[in-house]
Chain A
Amino acid sequence: MTTAATNTEAQPHAGRKQRSERPSTLALLVNNRLAAAGLVILGVIVATALAAPILPLADPNATNPAGRLAPLFSEGHILGTDALGRDTLSRLIWGARVSLAVGFSASVIAAVVGSAIGLVAGYAGGRTDQVMMRLIDMLMAFPYILLALAIVAILGPGLINALYAIAIVNVPFFARNIRGITIGLARREFVDAARLSGKGPLRILGSDILPNVLPTIVITLSTTVGWMILETAGLSFLGLGAQPPQADLGSMLGEGRKVLFTAPTISLVPGLMIFLIVMSINLIGDGIRDVLDPRLRSGALARPSFRTAILPDRARPASMIDQAATLDVKNLETQFRMGSEVYRAAGGVDLRIARGECLGLVGESGSGKSVTAMSLMGLVPSPPGVIAGGLIGFKGEDLAEAPDKRIRELRGGAVSHVFQDPLATLHPLFPVGDQLVEAIRAHQRIGRSEAETKAEDLLALVRIPNPAARMKALPHELSGGLRQRVSIAMALANDPELIIADEPTTALDVTVQAQVLRLMDDLRRERDAAVLFITHDFGVVSEICERVAVMYAGRIVETGRTDEILKEPTHPYTRMLIDCVPVMGEPERRLDAVPGRPPPVNRLPPGCAFADRCPRAQADCRSGDIPLEAKRGSLEARCLHPLQPGESLT
């Protein structure tokens, strides 16, 4: 037993490698290219501004009334001169220097002060948090620039005062953002773990929370620097920031406005400069956010389409679809394509369910059982999911060939779904009655009141007490068990011939699970509906399924009648999966851990995917395709060295 556990050390995830496998999709590429462009523009501007003292520029404050309002490209003044005859190019570069310095300083002040407030308030919680946040709310109650104006009104106009004003105005923004993240982190278990390691609050704040908050601070900073430069320029434009003769870009624009109609370029040029600076910073900010935000990085924000993409040139098996079976899936292959990597989540799955039959699809997480189930009606999110091969036979019709319109007709009609977590799968804002009515009316041409009566009957059918009152309940007002009953009612709304149930009882308590299983079993028998029941629990399978299919690394490795599989499976994996779970009433039973881990589905080995973990593996297991063949009784398995009756694994 111990040796088995010691052997489990395969390599840990090749974490770094996996990250680079993440989508280098077109969108991310373009984003990065934009960020690079921003970096170049900002780099040139900052370098020029920094180099202003050593560049051969005219004195920005030297007036020359004789040469006033010189046009663009005039001699000695490439960008012309202003109303006092000062060189615009020189003033532009010196002004950019001032604007950049003020903008960045204000941002850093706001970030440091705001983040500190957010961290302390978020971690301390309770009264400290309340007092600090009420004060922050007070500041937020002022419209943005108005507060800056009020501060300048108190301190008096001037560049440094404008800097303070902008910094103060942005403090609440950081404080609130960082507090939100900190509260989330402070509740995380690793913070509890740090407390249990004997760390004090300050140490936890510094060594456990701050490193996790830092990316958010950087993101917030990079997305607000542009704003702050814009706002400081704005105050100067209004004459409340830089005071003459000192000039920043905003005050140049403000002064130029006086001669807008005679010499528009004098105000347009500094405005263009502000625009370029802010735009390049925003580009960089978006880039930084994309890189640092794990959700965006994984490409998770891609919008799933109506239906899983189906490759037109997919492999189609030669065999015919069984017309009599409710479901006949042949060699179904569903892939996730991320960047150059292809994950074969379902790698050639065969399933057959007769009319009114319940088939259990059993496997561990990552085995591809949910992907298989969601592929049937095209509910695998796409991108990145793609159906790359196979037939999906439903009563003789290949659904992979069916047009979208037909799929929509079948969804919730002849084929319905029950999902795992009913709180997440019901719409949080609509009453459950409305959601039921909607499901009914999507398929039956009946009026609203008639549909409501039907919905109420359905709620009564799934034995929800007081159905009329529950119609108006929102999902969060119901208990987990009642919510799952609503989901089942919805699945039954249009007399389905096939119900696809994806771990429908996993999120429920045992006593509730028992009732929901019983309910499902009764209803499917009453209505003669076929069920594809996905679970990881052989106990649940025994309750409801006539037949079982065991999945491993994207393929069915064994299938047959439930009682036969549970008693004497032929595939070593099935045997090990049954033996590693404690069983009620047999506390003395030895638990045999399955050594090792399944192979990643983007790097499947040739031959049997289980060979590396199998005590019976021999040389021939590691090459060629091993077919799913009849072994004994009702059992079919994908194994060259199946277990004989009574034979033990070792």
Chain B
Amino acid sequence: MSALMEIRDLTRTFGGGRTIFGTTKPSLQAVRGLSLDLKKGETLGVVGESGCGKSTLARMLVGLDKPSTGTIRLDGEDLTTAGTRALARRVQYVFQDPVSSLNPRQTIRTILEAPMRHLLGLRSEEREKRLQALVEDVNLRPEFLERYPHEFSGGQAQRIGIARALAAEPDIIVLDEPVSALDVSVQAQVLNLLDRLKTERQLTYVFISHDLSVVESVSTRVAVMYFGSVVEEAPGRAMFRAPLHPYTQLLIGSAPIPGRKRGKTADDIAELPDPYNPPPGCPFAPRCPKVEADCRESTPPLEAKDRGPEHKAACFHPLATAERAGSTPPS
């Protein structure tokens, strides 16, 4: 399988520059030199906690934000600075908050027609035909087209959001926490719908979430982000069965599981390094149970360890399979 999208050394720095008095403004790197490949037809899950840069990454992938350095290639074509329109033709986005991603003063028809008109340049008969098919595809009724967003529940609004993304006929959809704002009973509806659409339309997903169980259930491959970089990348099952990076291990061990009561956890205060003044070396070192002197000197590169070429981690002292303890899920 060749890479559909290639992301190379992507960084995004906020702030910086100089004030009128010549002093430098503080700057913050939200994404720090990130490389990833997206293969056609896969669902790449991106997990991480708040402040890890996953949303900034998502926005760069669809052109809503421009990378400070690095490149994004789509089928070999460099689209890093091509802008939203060029990317939007092939990469679409589903927002976390379904209600606020729909303009309160436009009907669903206007919202869904916009990509067909501005990106595909379709004539009105063709748009009408596609609109009808589209709403049915996301399990909504055709008469909903004339209604306004506030008349819909969160789950319905999110399906409209998905329909809006599909209207542009993209190859890739970036899903930024698509079910986090929804009630649990509605989450399943949306996840099942996404699953069906993916098969029917041969889509490729980037699924961003903080919820490990959701990511595990939808992803074919998973990337774990910490402090602006990918610390581990692997086929989903492999990673959840036996992670390499201690941070992944911590994440998996922290997720609450129905019917399981955890033993004593380490007394970790869970503070991220100061993003304005990052320490040298591995950013996880201050919290890491396996930390050694070399971790604080240089940043470990993301590379394959002893689990085959697909399973990579950015760690000098990766976990062995036997080291996993205290997080055995019930079978």
Contact = CB atoms under 8 A, between A and B. Distances in A.
Are A and B direct contacts in the complex by CB distance below 8 Å? yes
Interface of A: 1-2, 4-6, 8-9, 12-15, 188-190, 192-199, 203, 207-208, 211-212, 364-365, 463, 465, 479-482, 509-515, 517-518, 536-543, 563, 566-567, 576-578, 580-587, 589, 591-594, 597
A316 B191 CA distance: 45
- Looking at B150, B210, B329, the one whose CB has the most chain A CB atoms below 10 A away is B150
Contacts of A585: 216, 240, 257, 329-331
Contacts of B257: 539, 542, 583-585
B155 interface: yes
A195 B165 CA distance: 12
B152 A13 contact: yes
A207 B107 CA distance: 12
A517 B102 CA distance: 36
B254 interface: yes
Nearest to B183: A364
Given A193-B164, A197-B114, A198-B115, A581 B188 contact: yes
A195 B95 CA distance: 13
Contact of B258 (A194, A465, A539): A539
B184 A189 contact: no
A581 to B, nearest CB: 5
B83 to A, nearest CB: 9
Contact of B192 (A15, A365, A591): A591
B281 to A, nearest CB: 20
Nearest to B236: A587
B270 A194 contact: no
Interface in B254-279: 254-262, 264-265, 267-272
A510 B251 contact: yes
B242 interface: no
B249 to A, nearest CB: 11
Interface pairs A-B: 4 shortest CB-CB: A585-B329, A539-B256, A198-B118, A197-B114
A586 B196 CA distance: 20
A2 B137 CA distance: 11
Contact of A197 (B119, B260, B268): B119
B100 A188 contact: yes
B25 to A, nearest CB: 14
Contacts of A194: 103, 114
B216 A8 contact: no
A364 B141 contact: no
- Looking at A193, A514, A566, the one whose CB has the most chain B CB atoms below 10 A away is A193
Contact of A511 (B93, B216, B217, B270): B270
Given A2-B196, A190-B102, A583-B257, A511 B191 contact: no
Contact of A211 (B49, B85, B105): B105
A318 to B, nearest CB: 36
A463 to B, nearest CB: 7
Given A15-B148, A199-B118, A5 B270 contact: no
B146 to A, nearest CB: 11
- Looking at A480, A538, A540, A591, the one whose CB has the most chain B CB atoms below 10 A away is A591
Given A511-B254, A515-B270, A196 B196 contact: no
A597 B103 contact: no
Contacts of A13: 150-153
Contacts of A211: 103, 105-106
Contacts of B64: 192, 195-196
23 contacts: A9-B141, A196-B88, A198-B118, A212-B104, A365-B183, A515-B268, A515-B270, A518-B264, A536-B184, A538-B259, A540-B256, A542-B259, A566-B259, A567-B259, A581-B184, A582-B214, A584-B212, A584-B213, A584-B252, A585-B216, A587-B236, A591-B188, A594-B188
A542 B257 CA distance: 7
Contacts of B29: none
B270 A512 contact: yes
Given A9-B141, A192-B101, A365-B183, A578 B49 contact: no
B299 interface: no
- Looking at A1, A514, A541, the one whose CB has the most chain B CB atoms below 10 A away is A514
Nearest to B330: A585
B288 interface: no
A175 B41 CA distance: 49
A95 B161 CA distance: 56
A577 B259 contact: no
Contact of A515 (B117, B255, B267): B267
Contacts of A518: 262, 264-265
B253 interface: yes
B113 to A, nearest CB: 9
A576 B183 CA distance: 13
A581 B183 CA distance: 10
Interface in B59-115: 59, 62, 64, 84-85, 88-89, 92-93, 95-97, 100-106, 111, 114-115
Contacts of B270: 479, 481, 509, 511-512, 515
Contacts of B97: 189
A204 B105 CA distance: 13
A208 B85 CA distance: 17
Nearest to A505: B256
Interface of B: 49-50, 59, 62, 64, 84-85, 88-89, 92-93, 95-97, 100-106, 111, 114-115, 117-119, 139-141, 144, 147-148, 150-153, 155-156, 161, 164-165, 167-168, 183-189, 191-193, 196, 210, 212-214, 216-217, 236-237, 240, 250-262, 264-265, 267-272, 329-331
B189 A5 contact: yes
Given A194-B114, A198-B88, A5 B192 contact: yes
A509 B189 contact: no
A515 B212 CA distance: 17
A398 B153 CA distance: 38
Nearest to A481: B270
B139 A593 contact: no
Contacts of B164: 193, 197
- Looking at A189, A481, A587, the one whose CB has the most chain B CB atoms below 10 A away is A189
A513 B153 contact: no
Given A13-B150, A15-B150, A514-B253, A593 B189 contact: yes
A196 B93 contact: yes
A12 B156 contact: yes
A364 B117 CA distance: 39
Contacts of B101: 189-190, 192-193
A12 B144 contact: yes
Contacts of A511: 49, 250-251, 254, 268, 270
Given A511-B251, A539-B255, A195 B261 contact: no
Contacts of A188: 100
Contact of B271 (A479, A591, A592): A479
B185 A586 contact: no
Given A189-B95, A583-B257, A593-B192, A197 B105 contact: no
A193 to B, nearest CB: 5
Contacts of A365: 183
B212 A587 contact: no
Contacts of A594: 185-186, 188
Contacts of A591: 188, 191-192, 217
- Looking at A195, A203, A212, the one whose CB has the most chain B CB atoms below 10 A away is A195
A188 B105 CA distance: 13
A541 B262 CA distance: 12
Nearest to A197: B114
B202 to A, nearest CB: 18
B265 A198 contact: no
Contact of A597 (B59, B118, B153, B214): B153
B102 A514 contact: no
Nearest to A613: B185
Contact of A196 (B115, B155, B187, B265): B115
A514 B254 contact: yes
